[in-house]
Structure 1
Amino acid sequence: MQVKLLLSVIIVSYNTKELLKDCLDSIQLSIEGIEGEIFVVDNNSSDNTISLIKAKYKWVKLIENKSNLGFSKANNIAIKKAKGKYLLILNPDTKLRKDTISKMINFMQSRDEIAVTTCRVELPSGSMDRDCRRHFPTPWRAFAHFSGLSKIFSGSKIFDQYQMGYLSENTEHEVDSCVGAFMFIRASAIKKVGLFDEDFFFYGEDLDWCWRFKQLGYKIVYTPVTKIIHYKGAASGIKPPSAHLSKATIESKKRAVVESTRAMELFYQKHYTDKYPRLITWSVILSVKLLEKYRLFKISHSL
């Protein structure tokens, strides 16, 4: 990366043409007056995404992959080419406000100690996407989250740790991880931390990357100075908020389930195996396998 611009926006697309159109329109308004570049890395979409970009968005730096390389690898291709002082990793199923980019740049310029930040990420309903600010998923936090205890005891410091529900959505605070749908990052920090781990195909790469930032002592911060809309689930088809907008096939949904649970297992094995007894590790891996089977069963029987 050679820093020559203020901002590089990077979007990985895969069969999300209509959502990507809205996303790019919102970026065009938000980046006005700012020296920047916008990359779209397309993972071999079959919905005419490429034709749309070439016809309507000639200012986009388009990278066409010949196959679906996954989220991490596709992002890394653009990160290597990016020339911005800051990078914005953005999902195609998001919409920015007009002030989003300027406010995030101002925030980062005034806070040199921060390497990664995210704003308030909202679902179409107006409620916050709780994944936009997270602690790392220790066995206890993961259990409380997936068992539903975090919802039953919402706001509890004991049970609602993973998505940090015990903290106000309206105050700035340090977090362990933000969500890959919107990650605003200092390029100089990426040079030291490195790129996304390409072993993570579709999920978990954001958590893993943030883990590595934290290991080097960098701060990751949630700030409510601005917000975006996230049509969560529109790409994969397996998340309830926007699954109805998804054009993902049954096979694509099943692959998303497998990749999401594989990412859980990979993250645990990479970062926690040597920190917990074998019995805990065995229980975690078994729980992940059972979760995968349950989710695949739901998809198969929703036809």
Structure 2
Amino acid sequence: MLLSVIILAYKVPYHVLLCVQSVERSIASIDAEIIVVDNNSQDETEELITTNFERVIFQQNNENLGFAKAYNQAVHTAKGKYVCILNPDTVLSENCFKTLIPFAEKQPDFGALGPRLIDGTGHYLPESKRNVPDFKVAFKKMTGDTSRYYANQLAQDEIGEVPVLVGAFMLVKKQAYLKIKGFDERFFMYGEDIDLSYRLTQNGFKNYYFGQVSVIHFKGESTVKDRKYNLRFYGAMQLFQQKHFSQGFFIDKALDLSLKCLAFSKSKVASKEEDQKEKTAIFWVYKGNLEQEELKNIPFQINQVINFEKEKELQKFNSKLIFDLNFLKFSEVIDAFQLLKNNKNRFRIRPSNCNFILGSDTSTSRGELLKW
């Protein structure tokens, strides 16, 4: 088998469903499997996945094992030559793996690869490619200087080697993953992707950023960016520093104290989204033939149904655009996110054969889910 796509779910059942739909279309012509691991969400995740996707391998954990341990568990059961570590709040295009895997196959000493990630507003996420956060880089990031933290030596749409990829989407050669013994399970959540990327390069493998393929990463769905998040995030940074770049007992302790103070100083980031329900026009985006009967049970007023093929109709401002995947390709939706990102629009997606929409207007808090 060529590919195993592993999705780790935790309390985001409807995002997982959308993610799996996109993965199924992306592996349509590839010898591949999909594994969904649920970290004891205790919600509708298992029912939604096992009911709607017969071919998906579902693994249920009885406790929240964290990111690293749950993925290690799944990789050992995976059959693919490559494994794709994938977050549940991601959306892939139909040509994603058809483009990335042939590139990976041509690279000597291939370790891992990551695509260009965009958020729910269509904007580029700079963490798609990063440098190794050694002591100096980490210290600068703590003070708000990210000039050396992100791998700005490559442009957003370029392809090339980078030191560090993000765990939201990592295509990894399974042989390389197993050689370095996978994720370090001391990282419960955050930092394990940096550590894995660094250890791959330390063992002679190469990591690549592929800026010609875009993937939506909503962010903030499994974890609200509150004080608990900050403690885990900065604690992971501390663990990485001590593991690979220890400066001695006293400097390590000083860094530890600084990181804890920084974590406690960060309060919960509130969404700044304004309540524009009365002002925002809502447009339903389709392609082909749409029967008005299909929209009769939707619990909000649609101002206009617009055709995706008529680009001028899509050029809206300060509007909410709902993309219906009963009619559209994932690649079309991803392209539209990027095309319309600067028009102050808000985007929502309706998965195929589903009566809900979802989307996110900020990367720091949970987005909107509306069912009917």
Range into which the TM-score falls when normalised by the shorter chain: 0.7 to 0.9
CA contact (8 A) 1:139 1:284 kept: no
Shift, 1:148, TM fit:
2.2
Deviation at 1:299, TM superposition (A): 6.3
> Which secondary structure does the structure 2 equivalent of 1:72 belong to?
helix
The answer for unaligned runs of 5 or more in structure 2 is: 273-372
Letter aligned with residue 298 of structure 1: K
Q: Where does residue 235 of structure 1 map in the other structure?
A: 222
Q: State which structure, 1 or 2, has the greater radius of gyration over its C-alpha atoms.
A: 2
Which residue is equivalent to 2:242?
A: 269
In 1, Cα distance between equivalents of 2:268 and 2:73: 35
CA contact (8 A) 1:103 1:225 kept: no
Write out aligned runs for 1:116-127 (5 A).
Answer: 116-127=112-123
1:186 partnered with 2:173: yes
Partner of 2:8: 12
What secondary structure is seen at the aligned counterpart in 1 of 2:29?
Answer: coil
Q: Does 1:197 align with 2:194?
A: no
| 1:22 aligned residue (18, 24, 37) | 18
3-state SS of the aligned residue for 1:126? Answer: coil
SS of residue matched to 1:88: strand
Query: Does the residue aligned with 1:112 lie in a helix, a strand or coil?
Result: coil
Match of 2:259 among 288, 291, 294: 288
Match of 1:74 among 65, 70, 73: 70
Which of 157, 162, 165 aligns to 1:175? It is 162
2:91/2:217 contact within 8 Å kept: yes
Structure 1 residue 123 displacement after superposition: 1.3
CA offset at residue 146 of structure 1? 2.9
Shift, 1:54, TM fit: 1.5
* 1:37 positional shift: 0.6
Is 2:11 the counterpart of 1:38? no
Match of 1:298 in 2: 268
| Secondary structure of residue in 1 paired with 2:124 | coil
Deviates more, 1:123-132 or 1:94-103: 123-132
Q: Distance in 2 between matches of 1:173 and 1:282?
A: 37
Report if aligned partners of 2:158, 2:212 keep a CA contact under 8 Å in 1: no
* Ranges of 4+ aligned residues in structure 1 off by more than 4 Å: none
Match of 1:157 in 2: none
Quick one: which amino acid aligns to residue 207 of structure 2?
A: I
> Which of 205, 217, 222 pairs up with 2:209?
222
Please report how far the alpha carbon of residue 161 of structure 1 lies from its aligned counterpart in structure 2 after TM superposition: 1.1
Q: Does residue 111 of structure 1 match 2:107?
A: yes
DSSP 3-state at the match of 1:207: helix
Output the amino acid matched with 2:29.
Answer: G
- Structure 1 position 174, deviation (Å): 1.4
- Tell me, yes or no, if structure 1 residue 134 matches structure 2 residue 130: yes
1:61 partnered with 2:57: yes
> What is the distance in 2 between the residues matched to 1:47 and 1:292?
30
Q: Which amino acid aligns with 1:190?
A: Y
CA drift at 1:264: 1.3
Preserved contact between residue 227 and residue 263 of structure 2 (Cα < 8 Å): no
SS at match of 2:81: strand
Structure 1 equivalent of residue 369 of structure 2:
none
Counterpart CA distance in 1 for 2:141 and 2:84 is 28
Q: Which of the pair is proportionally richer in helix?
A: 1
Q: Displacement of 1:164 after TM fit? A: 1.7
Asked if 2 retains the 8 angstrom alpha-carbon contact of 1:254 and 1:299, the reply is no
Q: Partners of 1:148 and 1:257 in 2: how far apart?
A: 15
| Structure 1 residue 277 displacement after superposition | 5.0
Contact 1:90 1:183 in 2 (8 A): yes
Which aligned pairs between 1:244-259 and structure 2 lie closer than 5 A?
A: 253-259=226-232
* Alignment-mate amino acid for residue 107 of structure 1: F
> Matched residues in 2 for 1:183 and 1:166: separation?
20
Please give the secondary structure, in 1, of the residue aligned with 2:268. helix
RMSD: 1.8
